[in-house]
Structure 1
Amino acid sequence: MGVLRIVLQIIFVVICIALTVLVLMQEGKSAGLGAISGAAETYWGKNKGRSMEGKLVKITKYLAIGFMALAIILNLNVF
């Protein structure tokens, strides 16, 4: 069981580093005054899920879920 805990801790550290890098790579959410008038509804705004920014957001969500799950598992003291 000790080996499994060490492997999970290594995966946890890798997820922490990847999550930090991904959050720093993302653009800010401040759209300025253009969002008030509806200028954000451009082609790029509608297809944001297919862009690199959209992929970064999806990967960040999955890594955050993995981070929380591993944090709970490692805190159970079962291993």
Structure 2
Amino acid sequence: MITVLEILVVILSLILIGVVVAQKSKTQGMGAGFGGGAEDLFGSRARGMDALLSKVTIVVSIAFAIVTLILGRLLNTF
């Protein structure tokens, strides 16, 4: 049981990392001052994809937290 939860934590963490990296930055950063913000004017990314990635991030992070707490309880580490 513990091994299954450990594997699940690793899988969820990799998914969470991938989803967060795939999301579009909410701030323009340094590139906006040099013309990097022009891609937003033409809709380079669909809004639906950003909304989906945001929802997936929330679901995966909640699942990661729950599995981590269960695993911690089973290992008696807190």
TM over 0.5: yes
Distance between the aligned counterparts of 1:23 and 1:14, measured in 2? 14
- Which portions of structure 1, spanning 4 or more consecutive aligned residues, are displaced by more than 4 angstroms? none
Is residue 2:22 matched to residue 1:10? no
- Letter of the structure 2 residue corresponding to residue 66 of structure 1: A
Alignment partner of 1:77 out of 43, 61, 74 = 74
Please state how far the C-alpha of 1:77 moved relative to its aligned partner. Answer: 2.6
Distance between the aligned counterparts of 1:26 and 1:5, measured in 2? 32
**Identity over the aligned pairs, expressed in percent?**
28
Q: Which residue of 2 aligns with 1:26?
A: 23
Give per-residue Cα distances to partners, 1:11-63, cap 9 Å, x unaligned.
Answer: 1100000000100000011168xxxxxxxxxxx8xxx4xx0110000001000
Q: Which residue of 2 aligns with 1:61?
A: 58
> TM-score normalised to the size of structure 2?
0.68
Q: Which runs of 5+ in 2 are unaligned?
A: 30-42
Please state how far the C-alpha of 1:78 moved relative to its aligned partner. Answer: 5.7
Name the count of aligned residue pairs: 62
- Give the superposed CA RMSD: 2.5
